[in-house]
Amino acid sequence: MARKKKMSTSKKVAIAALALVIVVGGIFGFSALLKNSSSNTNVLNEYLGEDMTTQDLSQMTDSYAFLVAANSQEGLLSRKSNGSPKAGLAKSWSHSKDGLTWTFHLRKGLKWSNGDKLTASDFVYAWQRTVNPKTASQYAYIYSGIKNADAINSGKDKDLSSLGIKA
């Protein structure tokens, strides 16, 4: 029969001290994390399983990029919790009786992150850039319902200003 060795008192104290350090350190680390996340209301932390490919809206193809974009950027419209549309960067919008012409009125004072003024022309540029075949956007087909979008994207129409988006 094997005889069990007794653990020395100094080993017991060392193990207990180490366990205490781990527990106390974890508590302080967790409380610091909670404190930082609750006091910095302008900070968004995203934990991703892999690197995003881009944050260029015309070039995005991976779900991580779309997730970050959805949580950090705003479009002309947004959605209420029930899924119905609500104002985003547009303060109001309307459409023609036939539904083919939509007009968006931007909120006043919109700015880019660098402080430059955000204008309707910026939206026109972004939509033209997405359908431009040189951009090679894999999601350009989403703009298919816009006048001349398919012709521009296929290269049949080289005039980006013929896209049915005006400022």
pLDDT of residue 34: 63
Measure the CA angle with vertex 64, ends 59 and 66; round to 5°. Answer: 55
Smallest Cα–Cα separation from 64: which of 43, 42, 77, 47?
A: 47
Domain ranges within the chain, ordered by starting residue: 76-162
pLDDT of residue 39: 56
Residue 37 has pLDDT above 60, yes or no: no
- The reported pTM is 0.69
Which pLDDT tens digit goes with each residue over 11-29?
777 777 777 777 777 766 6
Distance of CA 86 to the CA centre of its chain: 18
Label residues 5-34 b or e (16+ Cβ within 10 Å = b): eeeeeeeeeeeeeeeeeeeeeeeeeeeeee
pLDDT higher at 120 or 44: 120
pLDDT of residue 35: 62
Label residues 127-160 b or e (16+ Cβ within 10 Å = b): bbbbbbeeeebeebeebeeeebbbebbeeeeeeb
pLDDT of residue 118: 95
76-162 fold: Dipeptide-binding Protein; domain 1 (3.90.76)
Which H/E stretch holds residue 77? strand 77-79
pLDDT of residue 52: 81
pLDDT higher at 33 or 23: 23
pLDDT of residue 146: 94
pLDDT of residue 114: 94
Which pLDDT tens digit goes with each residue over 97-151?
999 999 999 999 999 989 999 999 999 999 999 999 999 999 999 999 999 999 9
For the chain, where are the alpha helices, taking DSSP H only? 9-39, 63-72, 120-131, 149-154
Reduced to 3 states, what is the DSSP secondary structure of residue 23? Answer: helix
pLDDT of residue 45: 75
- The residue type of 129 is R
pLDDT of residue 156: 97
